[in-house]
Amino acid sequence: MGRQRGTEILVGLFMAAGFVALFFLAMQVSNLSAGASTEGYRLTARFSNVGSLKVRAPVTMAGVRIGRVESVSFDKDSYEAVVTLRIDPSVDSIPDDTFANIFTAGLLGEQYVGLEPGGSPDHLRDGDTIAYTQAALVLEQMIGQFLFNRAGGD
Amino acid sequence: MLLDGLARLGRSGIGAAERLGRAHLLLGAMLMGAGEVLRRPRLLSAQLYNIGVLSLLIIGVSGLFVGMVLGLQGYITLVQFGAAESLGVVVAAALVRELGPVVTALLVAGRAGSALTAEIGLMKATEQLSGLEMMAVDPVRRILTPRFLGGIIAMPLLAAIFSAVGVLGGYFVGVGLLGVDAGAFWSQMQAKVDFQDDILNGVIKSVAFGVVVTWIALFQGYDTVPTSEGVSRSTTRSVVHAALAVLGLDFVLTALMYGD
Amino acid sequence: MSAPGHSATRRPTPSGGDAPSCGAPGEPTRASDSGPPSENLVEIRGLCFRRGRQVIFEQVDLDIRRRAITAVMGPSGTGKTTLLKLITGQLHPDAGTIEVDGQPVHRLGKAALYRLRRRMGMLFQSGALLTDLSVFDNVAYPLREHTDLSASMLRKLVLMKLEAVGLRGARDLMPNALSGGMARRVALARAIALDPDMILYDEPFTGQDPISKATLVALIRQLNDAAALTSILVSHDVMDTLAIADHVYVISHGKVIARGTPEAIMADRSAWVRQFIDGLPDGPVHFHYPAPELTEDLFTRRSV
């Protein structure tokens, strides 16, 4: 009986350790705690080019993360990319003439959506569309343009 | 001469197909008996002890050192790009996606798998399995199935412990010894490691490895030639086959999970 | 086929003439049956069994009478253990029928076979005790698996079975602490735990010292008479076996070459039976494994 009980206690400890490890991985290592993707409200923005923007990329305002990219899809009628943004519920006063850019973090970093507030007194609400957007800068295009301008200037 | 070679090739092919068939019959029989075992948790807890608790030390120590090496190597490379803050991502992603499940499976195959094969093989060689059958007790359901389920349950828990200890090891080396910023270490990790894509896929992988490793170990024991030489051969084969199967299966699973 | 000595023995084949070769698994040939409660617990008819190309049994007929000790003797390698495995349904015959208490063992489904096996106990050569359980737990094992006895009832029953084999005091030992003879007695206690109708003994005397051999001989006889058991005993140990058996079969080269009471076997004149019973080094069974002539073998020039 004693041996049996000892085994059971050790097995219990083992399983508890396993679950604690899984919990640690979920909460401390992964984005599960930060995810909470069902909260907040949704905005859409249309871009002529999203570059390599990924789902779950950050949405920032003044450099602070206020939400995430929920989906990126293609509108076959207007040939534009439709990006759905999930904005944290606490950020509920984004002006409706806000400008959406796709930036790159560093020269080779990940792309993210940066919002620049306008001056309108009206705020965007769930389901609204951001009217003013700036497409992603594609490195090859920039280099091409640069060379073209140099050639034209001579 | 050529015909002899062909005949030998054919014979080994037929033998392999036969063994594969027997292995699948055994798998089916073990799955059929799973419900019965779950209703008798005593049987299961003994096997969780054998496979899980007894592997805990080697898993913990290995995880710690693997995490520390990842921290050191990752730092040396990343610091050249001025990206030492990404150390947390590198360590965690490598552990959770690949090293945790794979190394745990390899260690379990060596530590617990070989022990299972030897145990079942010896039970066969000493007529204990026949003895059970003569007592109208099905050895597959009574002896093999609890071990099979124990392996499947223990493997993901061991892999999670391995990864968690590894991340802590990486943290210790990166933050404690090399001076990476602790906040950046964790926040970058949390930003880039995804619960579903990385953690859950890692768990799925380790469950699959648990099935494969214990299945191979039990089959090698059950199918052994009942002599001491046969048992020792089966034990070696169990570890080799399990290691190869884990690495091969890892590639397939990785391709399915991450290769769009 | 025409080995010397075979012609002199009584052939139990019903047809009398040369046995027909083994064909497909046959239907039960109910020739000698006279009503369901047959006097024989086990009836084997026309049994054929091969392992690869080697013929183990060819047209063997065998009856095991109820409440008697039937011994099956023969030199090592004649398939005596195989015979027990066939009777208990662990192996299947290539042809012929094996009926235990009227049920064809080789055609039973798993559930029916397991039901039948609860009424059989088998004593393995090695004892086959579960090495990670104590003596008590080993004997309790079949009871725990197949009955819902209360703990105190179980304890009493196990102690009674252990008392029957004289090992009540060894209940807390682990199997690796037992001598070979004690392990066999524990295994015997386990085999009778479920009060079977029949016990099969696989070489019970092999490798035992004279004292434990005598103990086992006495136990087997005693258990058989006290519990009205049917016993099948497989052995090559001539004197001890003849001392306790009621009925003896001698098997060689896949065939029954003699049958009868121990006295009849002792008096048998055939060269083969004499060699086996008297333990002569040369006779119908040769000392030499089949080989070409020695001189021929020595003087042929062949590089190895």
pLDDT for the residue A52: 79
> How far is the C-alpha of A40 from the C-alpha of B36, rounded, in Å?
47
Confidence category of residue A32, pLDDT binned at 50, 70, 90: low
3-state helix, strand, coil in chain B (%, to 5): 90, 0, 10
Q: Per-domain residue ranges for chain A?
A: 2-30, 38-144
CB of B236 within 8 Å of a chain C CB? The answer is: no
- In this complex, the residue of A7, A18, A33 whose CB is nearest that of residue B49 is A7
**What's chain B's average pLDDT?**
91
Interface residues on B facing A, Cβ-Cβ cutoff 8 A: 42, 45-46, 48-49, 52-53, 56, 92, 96, 154, 156-158, 160-161, 163-165, 167, 186, 189-195, 198-199, 202-203
Q: Which amino acid is at A134?
A: Q
pLDDT for the residue B244: 96
User: Is pLDDT of B138 > 60?
Assistant: yes
pLDDT for the residue B63: 95
Q: Are C48 and C116 in contact (CB under 8 A)?
A: no
Q: Per-domain residue ranges for chain C?
A: 6-25+36-119+196-281
The answer to whether the CB atoms of A17 and B46 lie below 8 A apart is no
In a domain, B17, yes or no: no
- Residue B103 token pair: 């190394």
In a domain, B182, yes or no: yes
CB of A31 within 8 Å of a chain B CB? The answer is: yes
What residues of A are in contact with residue B163 (Cβ under 8 Å)? 21, 25, 29
In a domain, B11, yes or no: no
Looking at the DSSP bridge assignments, the partners of residue C44 are: C62, C98
> How far is the C-alpha of B113 from the C-alpha of C60, rounded, in Å?
44
Q: Are C29 and C12 in contact (CB under 8 A)?
A: no
What are the angstrom distances between the C-alpha of A95 and each of A47, A98, C113?
19, 6, 81
pLDDT for the residue C10: 43
> How far is the C-alpha of A71 from the C-alpha of A59, rounded, in Å?
12
The answer to whether the CB atoms of B134 and C121 lie below 8 A apart is yes
Q: What angle do CA C159, C162, C166 make, to 5 degrees?
A: 125
pLDDT for the residue B233: 94
Q: Which residues 93-112 on chain A approach chain B with CB closer than 8 angstroms?
A: none
Q: Which residues 105-164 on chain B approach chain C with CB closer than 8 angstroms?
A: 122-123, 126-128, 130-138, 142
pLDDT for the residue A109: 66
CB atoms near residue B184 (< 10 Å): 16
* 3-state class (DSSP) for residue B83: coil
pLDDT tens, residue by residue, B141-181: 889 999 999 999 999 999 999 999 999 999 999 999 998 88
> How far is the C-alpha of C133 from the C-alpha of C140, rounded, in Å?
10
CATH of C6-25+36-119+196-281 given 3.30.230.10, 3.30.70.980, 3.40.50.300, 3.20.20.10: 3.40.50.300
Which residues are CB-contacts of B253 (< 8 A; sequence separation ≥ 6)?
B201, B204, B205, B208
**Adjacency order of strands within the sheet including C103-104:** C54-65, C40-51, C95-100, C103-104
What residues of B are in contact with residue A20 (Cβ under 8 Å)? 164
| CA nearest neighbour of B162 among B60, B58, B69 | B60
Domain count, chain B: 1
The subunits that touch chain B, with at least 3 C-beta pairs less than 8 Å apart, are A, C
| B102-106, B185-189, B220-224, C15-19, range with the lowest pLDDT | C15-19
> How far is the C-alpha of C60 from the C-alpha of C90, rounded, in Å?
18
Residue at token pair 């223990």: B154
pLDDT for the residue C7: 39
pLDDT in tens, chain C (304 residues): 334 444 334 444 444 344 445 655 545 444 444 445 678 888 898 889 988 888 888 888 888 888 889 999 888 778 888 888 899 888 889 888 999 888 888 888 888 888 888 888 888 887 888 888 899 999 999 998 888 889 999 999 999 989 888 888 888 999 989 888 888 889 989 988 888 889 999 888 887 888 888 888 888 888 888 888 899 999 888 888 888 889 999 888 888 888 888 888 888 888 888 888 888 777 777 777 777 788 888 887 665 5
- Residue A79 token pair: 């040939």
pLDDT for the residue B212: 96
- Residue C29 token pair: 């040939």
pLDDT tens, residue by residue, B5-20: 999 999 999 999 999 9
Pairing of strands A111-116, A58-61: parallel
Which residues are CB-contacts of A41 (< 8 A; sequence separation ≥ 6)?
A86, A87, A89, A92, A125, A126, A127
- In this complex, the residue of B126, B130, B136 whose CB is nearest that of residue C146 is B136
Q: Are A63 and A150 in contact (CB under 8 A)?
A: no
> How far is the C-alpha of A72 from the C-alpha of A80, rounded, in Å?
11
pLDDT tens, residue by residue, B51-98: 999 999 999 999 999 999 999 999 999 888 878 888 888 999 999 999
What residues of B are in contact with residue A35 (Cβ under 8 Å)? 195
- In this complex, the residue of C88, C128, C145 whose CB is nearest that of residue B137 is C145
Q: Are C42 and C100 in contact (CB under 8 A)?
A: yes
In a domain, B21, yes or no: no
Exposure string of C52-67, with b = 16+ CB inside 10 Å and e = fewer, is: eeebbbbbbbbbbebb
> How far is the C-alpha of B92 from the C-alpha of B90, rounded, in Å?
6
- In this complex, the residue of B56, B165, B195 whose CB is nearest that of residue A30 is B195
Average pLDDT on A60-88 reads 88
- In this complex, the residue of B164, B193, B194 whose CB is nearest that of residue A21 is B164
List the domain range (segments joined by +) for residue B104. 60-254
Q: What is the ipTM of this complex?
A: 0.81
> How far is the C-alpha of C117 from the C-alpha of B205, rounded, in Å?
42
Which residues are CB-contacts of C1 (< 8 A; sequence separation ≥ 6)?
none
> How far is the C-alpha of C123 from the C-alpha of C201, rounded, in Å?
5
